[in-house]
Amino acid sequence: MNIVIVCYPTFGGSGVVATELGLALAKRYHDIHFITYNLPVRLEALNDPKIHFHEVSVPDYPLFKYQPYELALSSRLVDVVRSNSIDILHVHYAIPHAYAAYMAKKMLIDIGIEIPIVTTLHGTDITLVGSHPFYNPAVTFSINHSDRVTAVSESLKNDTINLFDIKKKIDVIPNFVDIKKIKNKEKPCERNLLAKKEEKILTHISNFRPLKRIFDVISIYEGVAKQVKSKLMMVGEGPEKIEAIQYVKENKLEDKVLFLGNSNEIDKILCYSDLFLLPSEKESFGLSALEAMANGVPVISSNAGGITEVNINNKTGFVSKIGDVKDMTTNALTLLKDENLHQVFKKQARVQAELFNLENVVNQYESVYVDAVASIKY
């Protein structure tokens, strides 16, 4: 198939999943056309003839206070479909991507081309942006006018049904990890570069937005550090990072809390880690937790959204109520103080991650594509 993938080209979960999905589909001999405003972060090199990138450029007109990205995207979609005999549009996020795809679809019908739209819901488009009364009608319209709709967790599917007047069936296809790639990368872990032998390493990876509860992460670490020699690795960029760095300086934790910025070497970072912290207030899936588990790192998390579909309490880690820093700290210490229990959880985390292996999930998406194309042609 010739498949268009529309996504955000950022370090966030949806962009990573969309890019990795496209790369995996290309290995199955599909032609993949990424359409977005910048090269996706995990699309490191365009050296695969099955991978194509089409940039969306938005002309800067003084007439517009905010430049109309949706119009530019829909026009680019029409152009790519016409030039490349595209079979299907797979858009990640209801707005603006599914909304723009619908406009492109209507323009294409006018010139005799009918093409199906598959919309994948990731979370922010539903629980944050989409739930705002201003955007609710557009999100509802975009979902109901997609040919097939998927959500990354049962939790997100239920949120979507509860928040919007949805007429379409929503299939749950979870996020994934490439277990084979992780195993192939495995090599001696040089954790001594970051910590002393007796120190434990706790890790957090996110976009540092308020919903990630960055200061809960630091508070958990502070509680752990009182009883166990340890360090905290904070990976990512976002609005609360500067404030977090300031807090760390004021409390003289600079040599213990390390801010590493964005990274494409997530597996290498997780190799160093003993525990992964994810105390989020909202989390439609918890891709970073899954990546940690795939690397054999137990997870200390909240019970927000779809996290509990990934991190199984008292098996792959521990789950606490949102904001219960005391309980999360206790759970972290339980694992860090008991090496035998920690090893059991590490093994169980890897086994759980296997359920979300890339190959299984790509099969599900291919099935959705075939179904969507058939619904248009027949």
Distance (Å, whole) CA 78 – CA 229 = 57
Decide: pTM greater than 0.75: yes
The domain 180-354: what is its CATH number?
3.40.50.2000
Q: CB 55: neighbour CB atoms within 10 A?
A: 12
Residue 235 sits at φ, ψ, to 5 deg, of -115, 125
pLDDT at position 267: 83
Please give the pLDDT value at position 229: 96
CATH fold match for the domains 2-176+358-377 and 180-354: yes
Domains of the chain by residue range: 2-176+358-377, 180-354
So what's the pLDDT on residue 131? 63
Q: Between the CA of residue 6 and those of 88, 160, 174, what are the distances in Å?
A: 11, 21, 18
At which residue do the structure tokens 């016409």 appear?
Answer: 82
Asked if the bond preceding 239 is cis, omega within 30° of 0, the reply is: no
pLDDT digits (tens), the chain, 378 positions? 999 999 988 766 788 899 999 999 999 999 999 999 888 877 766 678 899 999 998 877 776 666 688 889 999 999 999 999 999 999 998 888 999 999 999 999 999 999 999 999 988 767 666 567 788 888 899 999 999 999 999 999 999 999 899 999 999 999 999 988 887 666 667 777 778 889 999 999 999 999 999 999 999 999 999 999 999 999 999 999 999 999 999 999 999 999 998 887 888 889 889 999 999 999 999 999 999 999 999 999 999 999 999 999 999 999 999 999 999 999 999 999 999 999 999 999 999 999 999 999 999 999 999 999 998 865
CATH class belonging to 2-176+358-377: alpha beta
